Amino acid sequence: MKDSIVLSREHHLAILTFNRPSKNNAFNYEMCERLEELCQEINADDSIRIVLMRGNGEAFTTGTDINELNQDLESISNEALFIIRQFNSCILLLREMEKVVIVSVHGMVAGIGMSLMLAADLVIARDDTRFSLGYNQMAISAIGASSYMLPRIIGAKKAMELFLMPDVFDAAQAYDFGLVNWIVSKEEMETQTKYIIERIVNGPMVAFMQTKLLLNSAWQNKLSAQLELEAEAFVRCVNTNDFKTAVRAYVNKQIPEFEGR
């Protein structure tokens, strides 16, 4: 099980690599359990600032492992609620952890792969990536907060279209929908991902995390509540070393060197 998702660390970066390449990283119960365990570990590690999630092999993930589902077809109804709630825990951790979560996708992104991508803060897509929700094709409804995230990003009617008619769409369409931030070639993927990570990891992390909190809360708050959260976040930022560094650098016409605190 520990090999199904590999965790590696590079200074302030945690890398989660889906590692079932022979199955195109299709998720089974063990993989879901492993992801929750690793997300909890990363969330508790204050040295980590950025999480990069990616897939080994030909695809990011093709979604649920249907072959394993078929083997447990008669018993799945008894286990489904527990499994889904465990996956939901992963989504909540990715959305709420005080880290910037970046997903790097290639090949195929389907089903719960889409849910994981939607839960990320930023998405880098290789130009040959293909996407599909695919839930209704398997006669199941949306999971992993995709029914929550997708309409907020692309609108209710377009979201309904992608759920009910889950045709495969390409990286250019995903970019137009607002589902990915960058499209890069296979040759550029590693260098561009490194460039993006370096820009963020050396930035004012308290301000970044307060921004993540504000964007998460903006979807359900009233204006008055959001304004108060903005005020509280602003005060937290003003009390950081990075704020003082930024002000002094601006006055002296220098580039600030942030500590992340």
- In three state form, how does the secondary structure of 20-45 look? CHHHCCCECHHHHHHHHHHHHHHHCC
* Per-residue model confidence as pLDDT tens digits over 128-159: 999 999 887 777 888 899 999 999 999 999 99
Residues 6+ apart with CB under 8 A from 238: none
Does residue 1 surpass a pLDDT of 60? no
* Per-residue model confidence as pLDDT tens digits over 10-64: 989 999 999 999 999 999 889 999 999 999 999 999 999 999 999 999 999 998 8
pLDDT at 75: 72
Find, among 114, 100, 34, 111, the residue nearest to 66 by Cα.
Answer: 111
- What is the DSSP secondary-structure string of 104-139? EE-SEEETHHHHHHHHSSEEEEETT-EEE--TGGGT
Determine the straight-line distance between the first and last CA of the chain, rounded to whole angstroms: 36
Specify whether the CB–CB gap between 189 and 245 falls below 8 A.
no
Phi, then psi, of 100 in degrees rounded to 5: -85, 120
Q: What are the structural domains, with CATH classification, of the chain?
A: 5-201 (3.90.226.10), 205-251 (1.10.12)
Residue 132 β-bridge partners: 110
Percent of the chain with pLDDT over 70: 99
* Per-residue model confidence as pLDDT tens digits over 241-252: 999 999 999 999
In angstroms, the CA 59 to CA 218 distance is 33
Q: What is the mean pLDDT of the chain?
A: 93
Find, among 30, 31, 19, 28, the residue nearest to 56 by Cα.
Answer: 19
Least confident of 124-138, 149-163, 169-183: 124-138
Q: Highest-confidence range of 75-84, 100-109, 211-220, by mean pLDDT?
A: 100-109
Of the pLDDT bands very low, low, confident and very high (cuts 50, 70, 90), residue 65 is confident
Of the pLDDT bands very low, low, confident and very high (cuts 50, 70, 90), residue 219 is confident
Q: Which residue has the tokens 């998460």?
A: 216
Q: What is the pTM of this model?
A: 0.93
Q: Residues 221-238: what's their mean pLDDT?
A: 96
Record the tokens describing residue 124, joined without a space. 């880098």
The DSSP call for residue 57 is S
